Amino acid sequence: EQIYIDGKFYSKENARISVYDHGLLYGDGVFEGIRAYNGRVFRLDEHIDRMYDGARAICLVPPLSKEEFKEAILETLRRNDLKDAYIRPIFTRGVGDLGLDPRKCPKAGVIIIAVSWGAMYGDLYEKGLTGVTVSVRRNAPEALPTNIKSLNYLNNILAKIEANEKGGDEAIIFDIRGNISEGSGDNIFIIKNGRIRTPFVQYNLNGITRGAVFELAEKLGISLAEANLGYFDLYTADEVFVTGTAAEIAPMTRIDGRVIGDGKPGPVTKKLMTAYTELTRTTGTP
């Protein structure tokens, strides 16, 4: 495994960063999760744009241009001889002292990890995931812009711990207004009477898979709109699915002990899953 750090490649054993990196000390940085399918990277430019926007929002200046970064990602895939992969690029604030002032960190750190990757949820794409609504709340956009995919993932991790404890596959996180926000690492969609609804983008991460679902729904002539959604909408849904780069489109057939619809992945979800598979396997940066 060859890992990119600051312009050089290291074996997994030798891939090391400083304990003074503010990415570690303060979660000061941004990251991405990107998939490659059969040697083509899905929506690479969108992921790079989101990462650079996140960096800009926290005044982190990446030490390389978008073009150079894109090339570094593709080179990491080539070096690891990966065709189906999950790619994890990271910008950290870089090495400073123990104070949090980012002016002490003269140069941002860049890390790219790429690993071989298949279907994240295995047989659950056919059975459906078990969802658990959790007590931890999504940070509000009033507190921190939700579209910064920052290295602070503690609320997502607390959500995951709660879901794990309750025997679920994925958490469903609400925002502080009491509306559904998203999963611990994915966006959520609810289908009722053939119409798809999903929480407003301001209150979750603007998922790239979410965006692809909007495009596919339009193409397939399925109605899709943003909405405020709560427990009632979840529990009475005909179908529920979550979307993410890692999860792709995954049906959720049980939530808080209730059966969703007839307990099997529904027809709208399945149609979108097929269309998404087709999209990811036929597009992307070679």
Q: Which parts of this chain interact with ligand PLP (CB under 6 A)?
A: 33, 156, 182, 185-187, 204-205, 207-210, 243-245
Nearer to ligand PLP, 31 or 105 (CB): 31
Distance between start and end Cα atoms, the chain = 20
Our answer to whether residue 12 is catalytic in this structure is: no
Residue 151 CB, shortest distance to ligand PLP, in Å, is 12
Nearer to ligand PLP, 105 or 136 (CB): 136
Residue 76 CB, shortest distance to ligand PLP, in Å, is 18
Out of 149, 160, 219, 270, the active site residue is: 149
Other CB atoms within 10 A of residue 268 CB? 21
Residue 170 CB, shortest distance to ligand PLP, in Å, is 11
CA dist 105 → 18, 69, 79, 100, 259 (Å): 12, 20, 30, 9, 51
Nearer to ligand PLP, 105 or 205 (CB): 205
Residue 53 CB, shortest distance to ligand PLP, in Å, is 13
Other CB atoms within 10 A of residue 12 CB? 10
- Residue located via tokens 């609504």: 133
Nearer to ligand PLP, 244 or 251 (CB): 244
**Catalytic site residues?**
149
